[in-house]
Amino acid sequence: MKVDFYKHSIPLSSVKNLKKILNSDIITYGKVGESVEKKIAKYLGVKNVILTSSWTSGAIITLLSLKLKKNDEVIIPSMTFSATANVVEILGAKPVFVDVEKETLLANYNQIIKKINKKTRAIMPVHLYGNMFDTKKLNRYIKKKRLDIHIIEDSAHAFESSIKGYRSGKWSTAAIFSFYATKNITCGEGGAIATNDNELAKKLKKLRSFGLSQTALEKYKSKKYNDIDMQDLGINAKLPDLLSFLLLPQIRNIKKNLLRRKKIYENYQLLLKNVNVDIPKIPENCLSAFHIFVIAVKNNKRDEIINYLKKKKIGCSVHYKPVHQLTYYRKKYKLENQSFPISTKWGKNCITLPFHLKLTLKDQYYVIKTLRKSLEEVKIFN
């Protein structure tokens, strides 16, 4: 039996809309993209959404808008994908790492507060595995202390998530989403920025189009020539209509698909009831997006277990090796495991199991049955 790690759920019927786009004059960012932005903004309850070519490009232009300088610092958790740190590093600022909470694996709030200093320009809390960090609490602290610090949410795992009734983008300068191939909502590659700051939204729209005063779409729509200027440095971060149209049917089916994801998550929980593994806790008052299902084994034999599962044709992955252990960051900033004990332990023992809408109960039975067997055999032979 084979169980794939991931299968997308883009309805094939949506391909029919491709003809309309190919028959139109614009196949890059255009009317379809504008329509998607409005639908996402309505769903999230924010004033503005800006589609981008990826989470990374969205994060880069968001940080560019802050005009980070060489010695500026951005606080991020170590338990995250490398891109969260990379975008800070690419722009010449310094990523400052904190450990995570033991039960949720979300950034440790108290450590964030301790790391704040005069050089801190931004904090990037990561909403991990579909579960949300309490951005409202952090926002209140920043305002109470009258600090000039931006909160930029890494919401790559949290499109459908909410906590205490609010979604990403409510209590931050901006929230950045991913529509990468394995995300709940996907178009293969792509991303979006959500913000309630109208002036920032205008700026971001220019920054995603090289920073030019007039975008290609505006130039095409204009009935007369207008001189084009560039006041701020930008990049090409546009999401073409050829991809954004794939998001429309998935947005329509968000509620239905989220209920299915929750059911699959709960099935795993039941099947793992008597298995000696750890499962991240969903924070109180958080509605999870149930993005991926991650466990941690307790015998420090994670790699052997993954190889066993793969041999049995079960797709699995690791989310994540903590950033402080990646050679580039470890060497440059002289980072030690003892400074991040929870991230270190979790990163050494975590396994991401297959999780997607096409996963059947039979698939899940096979995955957990095989996992049980692997835990027994690894214990016997080690």
HSE-CB for 43 with a 13 A CA cutoff: 19
Q: What percent of the chain has pLDDT over 90?
A: 88
Rounded alpha-carbon distances, angstroms, from residue 109 to 116, 159, 165, 213: 11, 22, 20, 39
Residue 269 near residue 280 (C-beta atoms within 8 A): no
Least confident of 212-221, 257-266, 296-305, 342-351: 212-221
Instruction: List, in order of start, the domains of the chain with CATH numbers.
Output: 12-251 (3.40.640.10), 254-381 (3.90.1150.10)
pLDDT of residue 310 exceeding 80: yes
* Chain segment 37-50, per-residue pLDDT in tens: 999 999 999 999 99
**pTM given for the model:** 0.96
pLDDT of residue 216 exceeding 80: no
* Chain segment 269-297, per-residue pLDDT in tens: 999 999 999 999 999 999 999 999 999 99
The pLDDT value given to residue 15: 72
Output the average pLDDT for the chain. Answer: 95
Residue 64 near residue 207 (C-beta atoms within 8 A): yes
pLDDT of residue 382 exceeding 60: no
pLDDT of residue 14 exceeding 80: no
pLDDT tier at 19, thresholds 50, 70, 90: confident
pLDDT of residue 57 exceeding 80: yes
Six token digits for residue 113 = 């507060």
Q: Are strands 150-154 and 120-123 parallel, antiparallel or unpaired?
A: parallel
Average pLDDT over residues 165-193: 97
Least confident of 183-187, 217-221, 363-367: 217-221
* Chain segment 81-133, per-residue pLDDT in tens: 999 999 999 999 999 999 999 999 999 999 999 999 999 999 999 999 999 99
Q: Evaluate the CA torsion angle 165, 61, 52, 84 in order and state its sign.
A: negative
Q: Are strands 150-154 and 174-178 parallel, antiparallel or unpaired?
A: parallel
Picking from 144, 86, 137, the residue whose alpha carbon sits closest to that of residue 112 is 137
